[in-house]
Amino acid sequence: MVTLKELGEKVTKGNAHCICGAKLDGYSIKSYDHEDGIEIEGYTEKQWVYVTCSCNYQMAYWKIKKEIEYDEYENPPQINYIPIGGDFEFKFQCKDCGTLTTEGKRCPRCGCVDIRVYAKPN
**Is 60 within a domain?**
yes
Question: Are both 14 and 66 inside the same structural domain?
Answer: yes
Is 23 inside a domain boundary? yes
The pLDDT value given to residue 68: 72
> Are both 62 and 8 inside the same structural domain?
yes
**Is the domain of 64 the same as that of 117?**
no
> Does 67 map to a domain?
yes
52 DSSP β-pair partners: 58
Judgement on whether residues 11 and 66 belong to the same structural domain of the protein: yes
Residue 20 CA: distances (Å) to CA of 9, 29, 32, 115: 21, 17, 24, 18
Whether 78 maps to a domain, the answer reads no
Inter-residue contact 51 to 28 (CB < 8 Å): yes
Range of the domain at 28: 4-71
More confident residue, 64 or 110: 64
Mean pLDDT, rounded, for 90-119: 70
Q: Would you say the pTM of this structure is higher than 0.85?
A: no
Residues 108 and 67 in one domain: no
Q: Does 95 reside within a domain? A: yes
The predicted structure's pLDDT at residue 47 = 95
Over residues 54-63, the mean pLDDT reads: 87
Residue 12 has pLDDT above 80, yes or no: yes
Task: Compute the distance between CA of residue 31 and CA of residue 52 in angstroms, rounded to an integer.
Answer: 11
pLDDT over 70 at 64, yes or no = yes
Whether 83 maps to a domain, the answer reads no
**Local structure of 111: helix, strand or coil:** coil
State what percent of residues in the chain have pLDDT above 90: 22
Same domain, 10 and 50: yes
Number of domains comprising the chain: 2
Q: What is the mean pLDDT of the chain?
A: 76
Domain assignment present for 106? yes
Percent of the chain's residues with pLDDT above 70: 70
